[in-house]
């Protein structure tokens, strides 16, 4: 007996279109389960048939283009007519149902056309957004005007300005790539905004830890200094403050791995050889110190909270530093080789690790070997960790900051041991 799918291969895409429509229908039917029968815009069967209609139109768009167009246009017309009648009966009708129906028709058309993966991903995302209705509405209602403006500004720099910038290198030694430099602004601003949202969401339950982790997405050095000052003043639980110092170090290691993967991928595997041990030790130290703490429900430390959810100032300053450092690095590499480059990055990285990573990413392809790139990044990251350990030990006064300082020193030792494996 012949397999029907072998004789009619178009049946499988059409079946997928029907399945995707039914999936959407199940979600919409459950969401509208309390609506009186006859008052719903569409139910499980209607959405299933909408997907099926789109599947037919897509499957026969080449063999029967007129029939395909008629089915597609008629189905879209019926959806719009249904929405129009619903708005006549009740002015408070949501436009979500009609938009979902049109997207289901489009997904069915893609599935019928052979674009099953695209259709499945689109429907999966649509169902996820629909299922998160309450969470999304609650999140929107919690936003204030400043946060809405921050979202709009981030969209401007990430979705409008970034794609328009050229990718070709320019300037002395071809040291500057405009799009890559602006990507630094986008990433640092994104880290800042994500940190702000994390502090806002978790501040009520794990205040100091949440705000320390959030602030470390921008500057773990600044967070360590702030926490050391808090320890010196005797504010809050010393164990939590020291645990937050260790956690800030862990976030720093995560941040440098993300930045390296995004901006200097050739150095990523080598960097992980010493960044992962440092991360593991920092997380272990955080857990050990927290065992001595009493986790309360108080809010975070106001000195650690990001004042502005979208502050371009630090991002632009970092970009200017990277431009200068990229030019110096090109000159040093041309005149003194890898050893000179490592010295320059070690000195600058003691204050700002990110600039060292971005500078490596700005180097020409093949200018430095992958293993050497990882080795060059090791000194700034390890020295930065050691400096923060010294800050925790001295700025906190007495022995108050010793647990955090020991945690940082241990992570620096672990990172150094990992870096030595690259030699």
pLDDT, tens digit, for every residue of 264-315? 788 888 888 999 999 999 999 999 888 876 544 444 444 444 445 556 665 6
Q: With bands split at pLDDT 50, 70 and 90, how would you rate the model's confidence at 47?
A: confident
- Comparing C-alpha atoms, which of 318, 332, 411, 414 is closest to residue 376? 332
Residue 143, φ and ψ in degrees, nearest 5: -75, 145
pLDDT surpasses 50 at 93: yes
Show Cβ contacts of residue 171 under 8 Å, excluding neighbours closer than 6 positions: 327
Please state, in angstroms and as integers, the Cα–Cα distance from residue 350 to each residue in 39, 88, 127, 297, following that order: 66, 67, 47, 35
Please compute the mean of the pLDDT values over residues 152-161 and round it to a whole number.
Answer: 83
Please compute the mean of the pLDDT values over residues 38-44 and round it to a whole number.
Answer: 63
Task: Return the pLDDT at 306.
Answer: 46
Task: Return the pLDDT at 284.
Answer: 93
Task: Return the pLDDT at 182.
Answer: 81
Over the chain, what is the mean pLDDT?
Answer: 76
Task: Return the pLDDT at 280.
Answer: 95
* Stated pTM of the model: 0.54
Task: Return the pLDDT at 313.
Answer: 64
Residue 170, φ and ψ in degrees, nearest 5: -150, 175
Q: Beta partners for 176?
A: 170
Torsion, Cα 248 370 329 223, to 10 degrees, reads 0
pLDDT surpasses 80 at 131: yes
Q: Give the SS3 label for residue 365.
A: coil
Q: Which of 167-176, 183-192, 308-317, 375-384 has the lowest mean pLDDT?
A: 308-317
Task: Return the pLDDT at 345.
Answer: 63
Report the half-sphere exposure of 230 (CA within 13 A, side-chain side).
25
pLDDT tens, position by position, 309-342: 556 665 676 567 667 766 776 676 667 665 666 6
Rounded CA-CA distance 58/400 in Å is 69
Please compute the mean of the pLDDT values over residues 1-10 and round it to a whole number.
Answer: 55
Best-predicted range by mean pLDDT (129-138, 204-213, 287-296, 347-356): 129-138
Task: Return the pLDDT at 407.
Answer: 92
Task: Return the pLDDT at 253.
Answer: 92
- Comparing C-alpha atoms, which of 27, 44, 54, 48 is closest to residue 111? 54
Higher model confidence: residue 249 or residue 200?
249
């Amino acid at each position: 007996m012949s397999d029907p799918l072998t004789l009619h291969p178009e049946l499988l895409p059409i079946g997928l279109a029907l399945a995707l429509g039914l999936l959407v229908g199940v979600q919409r039917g459950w969401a509208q389960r309390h609506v009186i029968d006859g008052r719903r815009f569409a139910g499980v069967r209607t959405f299933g048939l909408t997907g099926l209609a789109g599947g037919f139109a897509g499957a026969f768009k080449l063999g029967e283009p007129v029939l395909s167009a008629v089915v597609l246009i008629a189905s879209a017309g019926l959806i719009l007519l249904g929405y129009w009648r619903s708005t006549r009966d009740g002015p408070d009708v949501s436009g979500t149902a009609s938009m979902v129906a049109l997207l289901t028709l489009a997904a069915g058309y893609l599935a019928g056309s052979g674009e099953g993966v695209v259709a499945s991903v689109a429907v999966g995302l649509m169902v996820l957004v629909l299922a998160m209705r309450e969470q999304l509405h609650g999140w929107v209602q919690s936003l204030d005007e400043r946060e809405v403006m921050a979202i709009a500004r981030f969209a401007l720099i990430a979705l409008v300005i970034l794609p328009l910038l050229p990718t070709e290198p320019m300037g002395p030694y071809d040291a500057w790539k405009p799009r890559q430099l602006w990507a630094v602004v986008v990433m640092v601003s994104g880290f800042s905004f994500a940190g702000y949202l994390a502090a806002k969401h978790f501040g009520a339950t794990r205040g100091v830890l949440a705000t320390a982790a959030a602030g470390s997405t921008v500057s773990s050095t600044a967070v360590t200094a702030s926490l050391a000052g808090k320890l010196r003043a005797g504010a809050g639980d010393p164990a939590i403050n020291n645990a937050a110092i260790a956690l800030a170090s862990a976030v720093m290691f995560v941040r440098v791995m993300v930045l390296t993967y995004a901006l200097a991928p050739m150095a990523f595997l080598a960097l992980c050889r010493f960044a992962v041990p440092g991360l593991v030790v920092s997380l272990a130290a955080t857990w050990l110190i927290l065992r001595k703490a009493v986790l309360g429900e108080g809010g975070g430390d106001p000195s650690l909270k990001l004042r502005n959810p979208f502050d371009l100032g630090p991002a632009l300053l970092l970009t200017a530093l990277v431009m200068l450092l990229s030019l110096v690095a090109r000159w040093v590499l041309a005149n003194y080789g890898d050893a000179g480059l490592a010295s320059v990055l070690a000195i600058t990285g003691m204050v700002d690790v990110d600039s060292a990573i971005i500078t490596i990413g700005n180097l020409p392809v093949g200018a430095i070997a992958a293993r050497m790139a990882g080795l060059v990044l090791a000194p700034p990251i390890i020295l930065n960790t050691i400096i923060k350990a010294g800050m925790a030990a001295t700025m906190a006064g007495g022995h108050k900051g010793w647990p955090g300082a020991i945690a940082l020193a241990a992570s620096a030792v672990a990172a150094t041991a990992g870096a030595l494996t690259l030699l």
